[in-house]
Structures are given as structure tokens and as C-alpha cells.
Amino acid sequence: MADLKELRELTGDENGAQRVAWTDTWEQAREWLRGKLDGLPLEEEIDPAGNQWWTLRGRSHRAVLIGGHIDSVPNGGWLDGALNVVAGVEVVRHLAEGGQPAATVRLVNWADEEGARFGRSLFGSSAAAGSMVDQDELRARRDADGVALPDALSEHGVDLDDALEARSQLEDAAAYLELHIEQGPVLESLDLPLGVVLGTFGVERHQVTFRGQAAHAGSTPMDKRRDALAGAAKLELEIREIANRTGNGAVCTMGGVVTRPGIVTSVVETAECLLDQRHLDANQLAEMLSNAEAASRRFAQEEDIEVEWERIWNIEPILFDESLIELADESIREVAGGQSHRLPSGPLHDAAEVARAGVPTVMLFVQSLRGLSHTKLEDTKEEHLELSVQALDRLADKTIARVAAE
């Protein structure tokens, strides 16, 4: 707790945390982290993607990884990412006190999880996972002040061309553990401090465009209209039904609708809708998508308009490791009065990249007050933060024993 508060003092201001990756404040936070691990029998290394690693050699070279990210969004919260790393420091301290562990333990502070400055999330973890395939596009990215991404990186000793060499870091990885604040309201609503994360949602993002006919708002009778907004409005209500029918955490959001010509005296000719659908199960996600498509065609027919779908982005659901989920559940029950809960994660995390690379992975969530994150209002009860570190400590012990015995 003292370390977390110290970091907040050092790298925050009246508007919240300011540890944006590839800035001086971020570098200061990394330096602070280094200081916290000083004096422990660890090997320190910064990999070619800028990820900071500390290795406690165990009797087995197979490694249990504990990860987090010290970077924040501008005016961010004090716990997002930082809790993970600081809890990891505490676990490593504890392990080092016990002499050489049965398996190697590595703490990693991923570089630029948030993507706040250049709009590219999960930078360091995707490089280590080998899934970074957009280097050509990254080379052209600039921040709000016009600074190119490769220039900002090189100021911090990272050459974009070499970033994928970080892949070698996962070679001996036998398990990956990450503690994170939930950033949502579920655990608080259940009055539970901690939960096990089953995986991260798959996402389908589409632009759905309805096309009708612009016509005078005064002279066009109601039954003669081809109103594109009518299709969009019906679809917005239908996606809520689709999510409810699908259940198991399904969410559908129409995050924006742009109408043209967009004047008060005309029937809407085109309505461009932004649709985001998420589910932990790939089949159910595909079904939600096809249900929404079918519904949009039905509405287009009813309104005598046309509809067109264009995919903006998608990612498959990423499931965490079943046996690590069991260990995490056990760890939570031991520290939190016998109660645990399993839930999916809506946001993506570094853990998803590591899991995608084939490393058995699990995450713990600790309750977020009011479900708020990415704001200075982000908070968690101190007693819950303490429980979360204890649960991570137990989970690390169990995982080390499991990995050493394999």
C-alpha cells in the first residue's frame, strides 16, 4: 500500500496519474520501480520492445511470469496496471526471502499497454507475443504534437525495427499471472472482493449503413417515406434483445449514428451506425452477429430502404488456462472467506497477448469502486487491495509448485 501511494505521489497530479508511455514521467516511474527491487537477488533486463524484466532464478529454468504495466492514460487512475506491478514486486520480495524457488520467477513491466500517446495498445506484450504485425503502420504514426512513434521510442532506447526480438522472452515461460482492477461494476454488485478472469471477450465491430431517400419533411406523407433512420432505430433496440437472449455476459453497443443530410427539414437519407458486439464464446459471438445482420435486413425491407455491412475490426475471444483458473479460484477462496467468482473481461489486457502466444495464463480481478477506471476517480478499498496481493501471492506459490512438478 505504501509503495502504491508513493508512486501516486511521484507520478500523479490533481488530475490523476500521468504515467503515459514514452514520456519523462513514465521513465521516472520505471526508475522508481527499479529502485523498489534494488538489493534483491534479481537479474534485470530491458528487452528490445522496452519491457522491463526482473528474473529470480529457480531450480527449474521454466518460468512463472507475473506481469503488469506501469503506464497510464493521461489523467488516469492510480491502480490500473500499477497495482499489478507493485503486487508483483511484493510477491517477488516474499519469494526471494524464502531462498531459491523451485521454478524461475520473472516480473515484467510491459511497455505501453494503454497506447495513450500513439493509439496502439499492448505494444510491449504484442511484441513479446510475436503478434505485432503492424510495424509499417506504426512507423507512420504520430502523436498529437506531430512526433513520430519511432522517434519517441528511440528516445527511450527502443528501435521499432528490433521490437519483435522481444519474442525470445517467452521461450521458457510456463505460466503467466496478472492481477488487475476489474474496471467494471460486476464484483461490487456481488459484494465480492475478488474474481477469476475466464478470458477476454471476442469483439466484432461493424459499420452498418442504412440508405433511404432524402425528401421534404413537409410534403412527404408518412407512408411514402424511405427513412434510413427508422432502420437504424429499430436495429438499436433489437441489439439489446439479441444481447439479452444470448446471455452469458453478451454485450452489444451502437456507439454512434451519423445521419445525412442531417437537417430538420429532410427525411434521413443515410444512417451510418457503429456497432460493437462482444462475447467470450466464439460461436455465440458469431450467432449474435448473424442475428443482427438478419434483423437489419428485415428492418430494411419493412422500411423500403437498403442496408450494407462493413467490418471495421474484430478479434477472437481469448480463453485463459483451465488448470490455472482452478488454482486462482482456490487462492481467492483461501484469502477471501471461501468466496470466489468467475467472470469474463470486457477490456483487453497484456494477459490476452501472452495467452495468444500459447503461454498458460490467468488473471485475477479485484473489485473497482463504482466500476470506474481511466479517471482520477478510479479506486478500490484498501482492504480489498491487500486481499488481492495475498491472493496473487498464493497463486504464485501454487503455480511455482505446479510448474516445478511438471
Find out whether 178 and 363 touch, Cβ atoms under 8 Å. yes
Find out whether 319 and 94 touch, Cβ atoms under 8 Å. no
Shortest Cβ 383–Zn ion spacing (Å): 22
Query: Is residue 124 near Zn ion by the rule CB under 5 A?
Result: no
User: Looking at beta carbons only, is 235 or 385 nearer to Zn ion?
Assistant: 385
Residue-wise DSSP of 264-314: TTB--SEEEEEEEEEESSHHHHHHHHHHHHHHHHHHHHHHT-EEEEEEEEE
Query: Is residue 68 near Zn ion by the rule CB under 5 A?
Result: no
User: Looking at beta carbons only, is 81 or 360 nearer to Zn ion?
Assistant: 81
User: Looking at beta carbons only, is 201 or 299 nearer to Zn ion?
Assistant: 201
Maximum C-alpha span of the chain: 85
163, exposed or middle or buried, with CB in 10 Å at 0-12, 13-18, 19+?
A: buried
Among the listed ranges 81-89, 272-280, 296-304, 392-400, the one in contact with Zn ion (CB under 5 A) is 81-89
Return the residue of 81, 212, 231, 317 that touches Zn ion, per CB under 5 A: 81
CA distance 241 to 95: 50
Residue nearest to Zn ion (CB): 81
Mention every residue, 6+ apart, whose C-beta is less than 8 A from residue 94: 393
Query: Is residue 182 near Zn ion by the rule CB under 5 A?
Result: no
Shortest Cβ 125–Zn ion spacing (Å): 11
User: Looking at beta carbons only, is 80 or 281 nearer to Zn ion?
Assistant: 80
Shortest Cβ 270–Zn ion spacing (Å): 37
User: Looking at beta carbons only, is 33 or 174 nearer to Zn ion?
Assistant: 33
User: Looking at beta carbons only, is 81 or 195 nearer to Zn ion?
Assistant: 81
Among the listed ranges 80-88, 210-218, 252-260, 300-308, the one in contact with Zn ion (CB under 5 A) is 80-88
| Per-residue cell: 363 | 488473471
CA distance 40 to 88: 13
Among the listed ranges 46-54, 73-81, 231-239, 261-269, the one in contact with Zn ion (CB under 5 A) is 73-81
Among the listed ranges 74-82, 132-140, 144-152, 158-166, the one in contact with Zn ion (CB under 5 A) is 74-82
Radius of gyration, CA atoms only, the chain: 24
In degrees, to the nearest 5, what angle opens at C-alpha 352 toward C-alphas 78 and 150?
75
Find out whether 11 and 3 touch, Cβ atoms under 8 Å. no
User: Looking at beta carbons only, is 150 or 371 nearer to Zn ion?
Assistant: 371
Shortest Cβ 193–Zn ion spacing (Å): 18
| Per-residue cell: 259 | 445521419
Query: Is residue 350 near Zn ion by the rule CB under 5 A?
Result: no
Return the residue of 71, 80, 112, 227 that touches Zn ion, per CB under 5 A: 80
| Per-residue cell: 8 | 501516486
Shortest Cβ 254–Zn ion spacing (Å): 26
Number of residues that bind Zn ion (CB under 5 A): 2
CA distance 125 to 27: 18
Shortest Cβ 118–Zn ion spacing (Å): 17
Query: Is residue 184 near Zn ion by the rule CB under 5 A?
Result: no
Shortest Cβ 293–Zn ion spacing (Å): 33
Shortest Cβ 365–Zn ion spacing (Å): 11
Measuring CA to CA, which residue among 42, 46, 29 is closest to residue 81?
A: 29
Measuring CA to CA, which residue among 278, 322, 49, 282 is closest to residue 184?
A: 278
User: Looking at beta carbons only, is 80 or 204 nearer to Zn ion?
Assistant: 80
- Which residues are near Zn ion by CB under 5 A? 80-81
